[in-house]
Structure 1
């Protein structure tokens, strides 16, 4: 295979996956819109249930790290990726019903996503929250049978000390990825707030920023997610098709 037949994996590249537009139904009767992306050539080894940044600040299911996880990780790491708009959130996929609930009413949104995972028989569900999404993961993740959670740029604004303390006795792993130049929670503050959580792995990213802008930061975040969920898939290829990834027959 020559370089001319390979595509460099960068911002706009969408690798092969089965992509299904889905709807979630909440216990309070709302319809949430989303997408499920799964590998084309094998069953998924695990599932990422993604929770997007703050919708009142422009966060939605297409926020770039979440979109790129869905674009790349089914092919590169054998993962299913579920992404959806929380209540009242709009994206090109459409608008989820309801109105922003300050992280409280969204408890039902997380539950709807986890019920969908169970109904579909999707394996080994991990919550992957970014910014506001980390608050939902920390508040409500332990109410469900998750395998673990990854927190990208956690602000810890809405998560109470009592909610955080529940994770001290939780048997599931928690990975917090902290950018050096975060706007809300820098590494030193994160070390203090997360102290005493025995199953927490804190990863401080030198040069990182809250929004993880740029291909190098994107790649670092996706690699850390895969390291937590399916480390056998590392290192992630930088080009496609990749010799290390099994391809479906033509």
Structure 2
């Protein structure tokens, strides 16, 4: 069976709730490998909720649909405060990337409490801002950034990540709406351990199966290299 955009592979899927330090309940899902313990954990931070970003934004949903079965990776997705998806609505209101610090912390606390190994952050657009600003937790092994705008996240945040020392992989679409490869290389030069990967012909929303496969393969290369490259059939 060819893996298509709608393919959902086996996983142990659990609806979860996250509880923030400022008293909110966030809704989410954890997808675990169908057999055996996970090799690593992907904590997904979704695009801007005021522009329809949510835990079911397509790349994040496809990561959860495929990576547990194909790469032995646990995928944790959740709606940040005030965000709604088919899973439900998280409590609270949009905090413009500031109060969401508590949301990121609650997701990482969940991975620690449930013994989910080797957590990496996957941020997409607005989610990259959350990763850079609030993801510098000792639990975090690294971060993959899709289409980072570098608007809310400043040079000071990049400098702090440089000091943090964890791997940082930025996937930059050739035709991104906010930050294109040449400018991304200049901005991320502040982070010695950052790797900037330009993706030809891609756009901010990563529409199209070829681009989704590039993203998922780059994730797997970092989280579980033994599973790379991902198969295109299952």
Q: Give TM-score, length-normalised by structure 1.
A: 0.92
Q: Structure 2 matches for 1:85-124, cutoff 5 A?
A: 85-124=79-118
1:167 is displaced (CA, Å) by 1.6
Q: Would the aligned equivalents of 1:54 and 1:132 in 2 still touch at CA under 8 Å?
A: yes
SS of 1:188's partner is helix
Quote the Cα distance in structure 2 between the aligned partners of 1:123 and 1:103: 26
Residue deviations 1:145-164 (CA, integer Å, cap 9, x gap): 20000000000010121111
Unaligned runs of 5+ in 2: none
Quote the Cα distance in structure 2 between the aligned partners of 1:233 and 1:98: 38
Matched, 1:192 2:186: yes
1:8 is displaced (CA, Å) by 0.9
Matched residue, 2:5: 11
**Cα RMSD for the two superposed structures:** 0.7
Quote the Cα distance in structure 2 between the aligned partners of 1:150 and 1:47: 12
Residue deviations 1:145-199 (CA, integer Å, cap 9, x gap): 2000000000001012111111222221100000000000000110111113111
Quote the Cα distance in structure 2 between the aligned partners of 1:228 and 1:208: 21
Q: Structure 2 matches for 1:123-138, cutoff 5 A?
A: 123-138=117-132
Which deviates more from structure 2 when the two are superposed, residues 157-166 or residues 19-28? Answer: 157-166
Greater Rg by CA: 1
Matched residue, 1:44: 38
Quote the Cα distance in structure 1 between the aligned partners of 2:232 and 2:156: 42
Matched residue, 2:59: 65
Which deviates more from structure 2 when the two are superposed, residues 162-171 or residues 112-121? Answer: 162-171
1:204 is displaced (CA, Å) by 0.5
Residue deviations 1:98-138 (CA, integer Å, cap 9, x gap): 00000000000000000100000000000000000000000
Poorly superposed stretches of 4+, deviation over 2 Å: none
Q: Would the aligned equivalents of 2:120 and 2:144 in 1 still touch at CA under 8 Å?
A: yes
- Aligned residue pairs total 234
Q: Give TM-score, length-normalised by structure 2.
A: 0.98
Matched residue, 1:162: 156
**Which among 206, 210, 213 is matched to residue 212 of structure 1?**
206
Q: Would the aligned equivalents of 1:114 and 1:144 in 2 still touch at CA under 8 Å?
A: no
Quote the Cα distance in structure 1 between the aligned partners of 2:190 and 2:17: 38
Quote the Cα distance in structure 2 between the aligned partners of 1:90 and 1:167: 30
SS of 2:201's partner is strand
